[in-house]
Structure 1
């Protein structure tokens, strides 16, 4: 009697496998299209229109008028661009190198290194909104920790860290850098653990000290980690929102705290009829992000090919 094998032939998937792959791949892909790509393309289309955000019949084509007004007649735009650049430079020059320095020190297997790693990385576990609430308590002009340490609580000329346009951006940058430092530290510490010990031994045999070994041997060997850290730093600087929104009192128009991400929110959510403006700002931020990250990655890959 001829028996029929129930085993699926090689190269073919059973019905259960196809259903499983559909659920595992199809649903996340569908969510990505609906929640990410569709809003992105919709924002590009809406940037050429004017719309109150309620009635679809109120969508009117305006061409590049939104972009023209942003660059010519929209006062908060250029201060926001300047503040985003300051945010990028501050994050790249202070918290990022400090995180690398901490990783380098903790990689020496000092006592209580696990405790230090946990304490420094702890802010990264918290959301930016929670970090903002913590630093709001620190910066409180009447009962805040910082003014208490400086002895200005209750004084006639106490320091309003978040209300002074000359100080509030720097106060927010310190709060953001507190969180970013731990993230860079843990990324770089993981990279340092993967470095071949033979490289350090060879450098030591050649007479290199610890600093020379790190700068000339270890640091170049961690190029992939360096690229990741740089990309994360740029993206964090461009999409900064949560902590500024919390410390700024829920507004992006507070003098001294203007950022592109907050202007987008103010125009799309806070201002009726400014959907086109907000979408145009979002497109500009998207193009700047793609240009910055794309340029750096292309140059990095070209150097590797050479």
Structure 2
């Protein structure tokens, strides 16, 4: 009996802490989303009114669209570029370890630090980007990157990709270690060129790493907050707002805790659906 109980005893404290810091706040958020509450006075139950209001809230719709843009940018750009750098850094050339460390360096920084760095880089007057464009004679391409509603979201995505691409690279580097050298050598013997070896031997072997990279990037894009908050606060006029940022503004700036919680619930359900799809995919593979 002691032998059977011991593993659960080791898991008891971590599981208790997980319930306190994760499960309970999630349940509490669901409860608050059905109320009208300013965080100080007594809660008033209003049913699904907050969710009805979300449907007609253009700023929430804009935040949702921006999150979709983040998702597309993270998947379409960070995955291929991460794979490219992984294959490049997997080669043995002079100084490859130094270059690998330099590419990986942004992963050592938080999004808050990265947001501050890129705020300096994208400054309209003293920023490196506009200064470089002026230096090479392309001053007409210089933009107010963080104050133009049409391009601000794309500027934020570009800044976030500086950290996200190395993350994808690390996942693919780990996946490349599982590629059978015998299969690659057999393909060479059969006369396959570099592109054929990549598409028919290496890429299929990277499928598990690809699934993980896509899933993680989608989840990261949906929970984007810190870099948006540091660089633009969601402005100008909510043009760069994402769901997490809009939730924060509604809950802690406008003191609409119930409405902010409803935004958080929608964000959680969307994120959880992708996590659930990933878990289903993993369980199917284990059954095989």
- Is the TM value for this pair above 0.5? yes
Is contact 1:245-1:252 (8 Å) kept?
no
Match of 2:104 among 111, 118, 121: 121
SS of equivalent residue, structure 2 residue 211: helix
Please, which moves more after superposition, 143-152 or 31-40?
143-152
Deviations 1:260-280 (A, max 9, x none): 1111111111112x1111111
Change (3 A) 1:302 1:25: closer
Q: 2:261 aligned with 1:275, yes or no?
A: no
- Following superposition, the deviation at residue 302 of structure 1 comes to 4.5
Give unmatched runs, 5+ long, in structure 2. Answer: none
Q: Which residue of 1 aligns with 2:81?
A: 98
Is contact 2:148-2:236 (8 Å) kept?
no
Kindly tell me the number of residue pairs found equivalent between the two proteins. Answer: 284
Deviations 1:49-103 (A, max 9, x none): 1111113xx201101100001102x220111111111111111111221110111
Q: 2:209 aligned with 1:225, yes or no?
A: yes
Match of 1:82 among 46, 65, 70: 65
- Following superposition, the deviation at residue 301 of structure 1 comes to 4.9
Larger Rg: 1
Match of 1:36 among 22, 26, 29: 22
Match of 1:185 among 169, 174, 189: 169
TM-score for both structures, normalised by structure 2: 0.91
Change (3 A) 1:280 1:130: same
Q: 2:248 aligned with 1:265, yes or no?
A: yes
- Following superposition, the deviation at residue 282 of structure 1 comes to 0.8
SS of equivalent residue, structure 2 residue 71: helix
TM-score for both structures, normalised by structure 1: 0.86
Is contact 1:161-1:168 (8 Å) kept?
yes
Give unmatched runs, 5+ long, in structure 1. Answer: 1-10
Task: Provide the aligned C-alpha RMSD in A.
Answer: 2.4
Match of 2:231 among 233, 243, 247: 247
Instruction: Give the Cα–Cα distance (whole angstroms) in 2 for the partners of residues 241 and 88 of structure 1.
Output: 13
Q: 2:117 aligned with 1:134, yes or no?
A: yes
Deviations 1:208-244 (A, max 9, x none): 1222112111211122211110111111110011111
Q: 2:190 aligned with 1:198, yes or no?
A: no
The structure whose residues are more often helix, as a share, is 2
Instruction: Give the Cα–Cα distance (whole angstroms) in 2 for the partners of residues 216 and 42 of structure 1.
Output: 49
